[in-house]
Amino acid sequence: MTPNRAVIGGSGAYHLLTRGLLGDEQECRVVDTPYGESAPLHRFGSGDAAFWFLSRHGETDYSITAPFVNYRANIYALKEAGVERIVAWSGPGIINDRYRPGDFVVPHDVIDETRRRESTFFKDKGWGFIRQKDPFCPEIRETLHDAVHSLGWPHHEEGVYVCTEGPRLESPAEIRKYRLCGADLVGMTLVPEAFLARELEICYAPVCYLTNYAEGVVERDFKTGELFEGMQSENEKADVDNAISKFPEILAATLVGLMQRGRDCHCGRAMQRYRDKGMIDDNWKNWLGP
């Protein structure tokens, strides 16, 4: 049976999964797409419990930074593999100081501050006006929240994620601007990933573990050579490492929850009005730009 669920995460998440906590790896493939090669797709588990995993930043440390990830190739490859739902795993910084490092958040909205990324499959086409009332699938969000809540870990059921271009971190003035715009979290990975998934009618929602306070939220001394260069204390690092270790349990509970519910959201019909107008057919590959 071909899995219809996938997880997108970082290298740390992949190494956790290789310990067999959610079944053994059954297959690995790299897909040659019209946008170049995808990241490797790993199939874990078997039968109804199987799912695909893709590491957006590479599998041996952090080998590719967020602005240079081939998001279009990755989403295309997952669509071609039969994926209908994507759970994304991300570690943003904190703007809203009611959150703490090591907490989990299921974001409900996003602000796009990226600048140079290929953000659509519909380049030079006459379609793609897709409503973003819920940029993240509400069904996956609800399932993620239920999973984290049932496990009893510190979490927040909503938050606004601002996605910056990177790879540099943000200045204090930028963080103040994002706070005024209503952002709670700041990261570099969810855009255009979420929007590309919606264009191909794939459900997509992230769960975030919070890594550090963004610049200026909490005053910290500069420490050359350390991770985040002093923006994370030793106690906060321990809390974050503990949160990362819980990823397989969150994923297991979420995948089980998704198996038990139908797909009744709007994500799978995002392009319906273009079908109704005869501008596209049911073959999604015919929708795409050259």
Q: How sure is the predictor about 290, in pLDDT bands with cuts at 50, 70 and 90?
A: low
CB 188 within 8 A of CB 166: yes
Domain map (residue ranges) of the chain: 5-90+101-108+117-158+190-207+230-287
| Mean pLDDT, range 150-161, rounded to an integer | 93
**pLDDT one-digit tens code per residue, 86-110:** 999 999 999 999 999 999 999 999 9
What is the spatial distance between Cα 73 and Cα 121, in angstroms, rounded to a whole number? 10
Q: At what angle do helices 138-151 and 247-259 cross, to 10 degrees?
A: 130
pLDDT above 70: percentage of residues in the chain: 98
**CATH of span 5-90+101-108+117-158+190-207+230-287:** 3.40.50.1580
Residue 10 pLDDT greater than 80, yes or no? no
Whether a cis peptide bond, with omega within 30° of 0, leads into 192 is yes
**pLDDT one-digit tens code per residue, 158-190:** 999 999 999 999 999 999 999 999 999 999 999
The reported pTM is 0.96
Determine which of 8-22, 62-76, 160-174, 248-262 has the lowest per-residue pLDDT on average. 8-22
DSSP-derived secondary structure for 19-45: TTBTB-EEEEE--EEBTEEPPPEEEES
Token pair 């270790």 in the structure block, residue: 245
Residue 230 pLDDT greater than 80, yes or no? no
pLDDT of residue 189: 96
**pLDDT one-digit tens code per residue, 243-284:** 999 999 999 999 999 999 999 999 999 999 999 999 999 999
Determine which of 18-22, 23-27, 46-50, 192-196 has the lowest per-residue pLDDT on average. 18-22
Q: How sure is the predictor about 17, in pLDDT bands with cuts at 50, 70 and 90?
A: confident
